[in-house]
Amino acid sequence: MTSELLPELGAQPAVGAEVRPRRGGLWHHLDFRRLWIGETVSQFGTQITFLALPLVAILVLHASTFEVGLLTALDTVGFLVVGLPAGAWVDRMRFRSVLIVNDILRAAALGSIPLAQVLGVLTIGQLYVVAVVAGVCTVFFDVAYQSYLPELIDRSTLVEGNSKLQASESVSQIAGPGIGGALVQALTAPYAIFVDALSFLWSAAWVGAIQARPPKPERKPDRHLGREIKDGVAFVVKNPMLRAIAMCTGSSNLCSSMAGAVFFVLLAGQLGVSAGIIGLIMATSAIGGLVGSFIANRIAQRLGQGSTIWVSILVGAPLGFVVPFVHKDWTLVLLAVAQIFWWGTVVVYNITQVSFRQGLCPPHLLGRMNATMRFLVWGTMPLGGLLGGVLGEKVGVRETLLIAAIGGALTWLPVFFSPLRWQRDLPSYVPDDETAGSLVESET
């Protein structure tokens, strides 16, 4: 996300692209629907593994708090290790092919867990390897995925496209954990993960059915990986708005990963909450994400795009203080309610800032821009997971959750003290007659 240019860039539309606005919007876009269907099912499987993988470690392998934290860290370490070069590599390839290959690899990695359980050879070391392999594949998939959307649809429909995709993700977060909890109880955690492996194969099949076939980016004789990475990094760090978003999202992910490293230890390990109840809490909380996906565009229109980015994160951040004080009583209901509102604000934030990033970036830099942002904002997650595991062992699980909540309550400050603070309509990339294009400035 070099590609066949979109119609508004002055080129012929790609096969399968629909360029005229139609009543019903992207519902009529066949290729978008295929991408949407594949991702929806894949998201359901991902939610199952999000619950099942740490439960395999806790309930089947009896892992320690640190081992669970390390597993959480390894799941996202790929963004830190290969996050930057992934963008340059993805920009050299067809985005569709990247999506298909990495779906298949993730299916194979996750499928090895129930196979090892059948053979009686499952170990925590294998979980670590699977987490790393699946995480690295996710790096390439996510960079290509966010880059592919502006190539597949008109840039004027990016908010609509991201909202629909986010709605599917929220629905999967509502139903997925509940289904996952039931599967874990019925099949045990290792075999529940097999469902996720099948979901990635489903996703690969639907992405493979997309008809649009943009040409492979031209191989430049003087291309240089280091220089290409530097161009992507420079585009992000030289823009004060992108810098602020990276600082906000990165610090938020750091704190969330700290909490996530010990969240299941508190509920499943210390409080003895069943997998079904944990799945129900997670499913209920995702209702807020679904609502957020429906109202994100309206909020941005009312408050302005820039203000929506910092207001949404400010409103949701304090809700993290509920988690450290949960017990096996009515406070579990309070946790679910807090998660509903927190996740709703996160989705509004994500839709607004991701759509802004996609609209701002020139087509030839989309992969590298997204990779740089992913490196900066997801690269903090393995650090947070590792830190959460260490603190959970040293100072206690609840104390770690409280530290994470304090840090999370401050993450809105970078976007507040940036040009995003009062801007209604943010700048976007509009190509001109020259190759470089230009940015349309925003109104304040």
Task: List pLDDT tens digits, range 303-329.
Answer: 888 888 888 889 988 888 998 999 988
Contact 147, 1 (CB under 8 A): yes
Mean pLDDT to the nearest integer, 55-84: 83
- CB of 42 closer than 8 Å to CB of 199: yes
Strands 428-430 and 438-440, bridge-based pairing? antiparallel
Q: What is the mean pLDDT of the chain?
A: 79
For residue 238, how many other CB atoms are within 10 A of its CB? 9
The residues, any chain, with a CB within 8 Å of residue 127's CB and separated by 6 or more, are 53, 56, 57, 61, 71, 113
Whether 218 is in a domain gets the answer: no
What confidence score (pLDDT) does residue 201 get?
A: 92
Q: How far apart are CA 340 and CA 266, in angstroms?
A: 20
Give pLDDT tens digits for 341-372.
888 888 889 888 888 887 787 877 877 887 78
The residues facing 429 across adjacent strands are 439
Q: Which helix (H) or strand (E) holds 294?
A: helix 287-303
Does 1 reside within a domain? no
Q: What is the pLDDT of residue 177?
A: 62
Residue span of the structural domain in which 119 resides: 26-211+224-440
Question: Is pLDDT of 376 > 90?
Answer: no
Output the pLDDT for position 434.
40
CB atoms within 10 A of CB 126: 17
Residue 2 pLDDT > 60: no
Count of structural domains within the chain = 1
Q: Residue 7 has what pLDDT?
A: 27
- Establish if 13 belongs to a structural domain: no
77-130 residue pLDDT tens: 887 788 778 777 777 777 788 889 989 999 999 999 999 989 989 999 999 999
The pLDDT of residue 428 is: 66
Tell me the helices (H) and strands (E) count for the chain, helix number first.
17, 2
Query: What is the C-alpha to C-alpha distance for residues 161 and 154, in angstroms, rounded to an integer?
Result: 10
CA nearest neighbour of 236 among 29, 34, 87, 336 = 87
Give residue 407's identity as a one-letter amino acid code: G
Q: How confident is the model over 383-434, as pLDDT tens digits? A: 888 899 899 988 999 999 999 999 999 999 998 998 888 777 766 665 654 4
Three-state SS at 272 = coil
Q: Classify residue 21: in a domain, yes or no.
A: no
Is the distance from CB of 141 to CB of 264 less than 8 angstroms? no
Could you tell me the sign of the dihedral formed by the alpha carbons of 133, 405, 358, 360, in that order?
Answer: negative
Is 419 domain-assigned? yes
Report whether 137 contacts 109 (CB < 8 A): yes
Q: Which residues contact 186 (CB under 8 A, 6 or more apart)?
A: none
Greater confidence, 15 or 410?
Answer: 410
Distance between CA 420 and CA 291 in Å, rounded?
24
Could you tell me if residue 433 is inside a domain? yes
Q: Which two tokens stand for residue 78?
A: 């790929």
- Domain membership of residue 159 (yes or no) is yes
Q: Residue 335: inside a domain, yes or no?
A: yes
Kindly report the CATH number assigned to the domain that includes residue 81.
Answer: 1.20.1250.20
pLDDT band at 173 (very low <50, low <70, confident <90, very high): low
